[in-house]
Structure 1
Amino acid sequence: MSETGFILRAAQQTLNTHGLINHDHPHFADTQGRHDIAAAIFRTVTGTTPHAFTTNADTARLLIETNEPAMTAIRWVSAVLPTQPPHDQDTGLDDHIEHLARWISEPDFYLGRRPNTSDAIGILARAADAADNVTDIPLQRAA
């Protein structure tokens, strides 16, 4: 099992224990302990959910972006989603954190509804399997 596969499988447990944050919540976590996918991955890597995750989305995002194991896991999740990540014009890079947030907040074409905790756990499993069986994060597929 790869390190990233381990992180993603452990993040499944985080979501199973704490729950997936409501799709319209403005932060990465809430005071009831629920997390979005990126926050669950960060918590898995670091063992903590900083206060900024419930109060300051910009600081929380910076904490996630500067944690390389968390970002690697997030990129794998983004790679297995059935949609393309948004492209950040300022950096010239794909925004994988936003990609995960949009997947949760918008009705999924294939599901016909917004993804729930079980769907998020399933996508983490798919990403973990991919991380374990592929040597590099695949390029995003054409829409």
Structure 2
Amino acid sequence: MNTTAEILEETAHLINTMGLHRGAQFAADDSDAVDICAAAYLAAEGTCPPEFSTDEITSIAIIEASAPAMTAIKAISDALDSGVCESEIVPGLWVPEYIEHVSNWAATPPIGEKTPPTVSEVIGRIHRAINLLATQTPAAHAA
């Protein structure tokens, strides 16, 4: 089983080679490009379900069902400068929206900017997440 750092390295590699999808859904239907969270899922699970290009709700459920992908996505979220949103799923129970946080960051221009982060900036932020993991849990990077 791959470590979170290895999954993040593969996520960066996939985005670099396949492209970063920033449109509707989690994957382009006319190219190999995938959303940053879909890339994390692909890195963790080795597959890209067809729903990623057709059904956002099902895609989120598929990604959320993968503990390794969600751990990688949370690591990226932790490396972002903005805070993660939370949703109340039942009265009094709030859960972080890591997928929304990371996907929106990669696809949306920052305040005062006209373009979203470049692919290089996205990959750089993934590497920052790897570095943060190494400082938080040194054994996780070496494992």
Same-fold call, TM cutoff 0.5: yes
- Structure 1 window deviating more from structure 2 (63-72 vs 114-123): it is 114-123
The residue aligned with 1:113 is 115
Q: 1:56 to 1:77 in 2, by over 3 A?
A: same
Deviation at 1:53, TM superposition (A): 0.4
Deviation at 1:109, TM superposition (A): 4.4
Question: Which whole-Å deviations, capped at 9, do the CAs of 1:19-73 have from their partners, x for residues lacking one?
Answer: 1013xx2200112011111000000111111000011111111110010010001
Q: 1:115 to 1:59 in 2, by over 3 A?
A: same
The residue aligned with 2:95 is 93
Mapped to 1, the partners of 2:107 and 2:68 lie a distance apart of: 24
**Which residue of 25, 28, 46 corresponds with 1:27?**
25
Deviation at 1:110, TM superposition (A): 8.6
For 1:99, the aligned partner's letter is H
Mapped to 1, the partners of 2:114 and 2:25 lie a distance apart of: 25
Larger gyration radius, structure 1 or structure 2:
2
Mapped to 1, the partners of 2:74 and 2:100 lie a distance apart of: 11
Deviation at 1:107, TM superposition (A): 1.5
Mapped to 2, the partners of 1:3 and 1:41 lie a distance apart of: 12
* Secondary structure of the corresponding residue to residue 9 of structure 1: helix
Structure 1 residue 78 and structure 2 residue 73: aligned?
A: no
Q: Structure 1 residue runs of 4+, over 3 Å off? A: 109-113
Mapped to 1, the partners of 2:115 and 2:79 lie a distance apart of: 18
Count of matched residue pairs: 133
- Using structure 1 for the length normalisation, give the TM-score: 0.86
- Pairwise CA RMSD: 1.9
Structure 1 residue 43 and structure 2 residue 42: aligned?
A: yes
Deviation at 1:105, TM superposition (A): 2.7
The structure whose RCO (Cα within 8 Å, separation 6+) is larger is 1
Question: Which whole-Å deviations, capped at 9, do the CAs of 1:88-116 have from their partners, x for residues lacking one?
Answer: 12251110000012212322249763112
Structure 2 unaligned residues grouped into runs of 5+: 139-143
Contact 1:105 1:114 in 2 (8 A): yes
The residue aligned with 2:134 is 132
Contact 1:20 1:116 in 2 (8 A): no
Structure 1 unaligned residues grouped into runs of 5+: 137-143
- Using structure 2 for the length normalisation, give the TM-score: 0.86
* Secondary structure of the corresponding residue to residue 88 of structure 1: strand
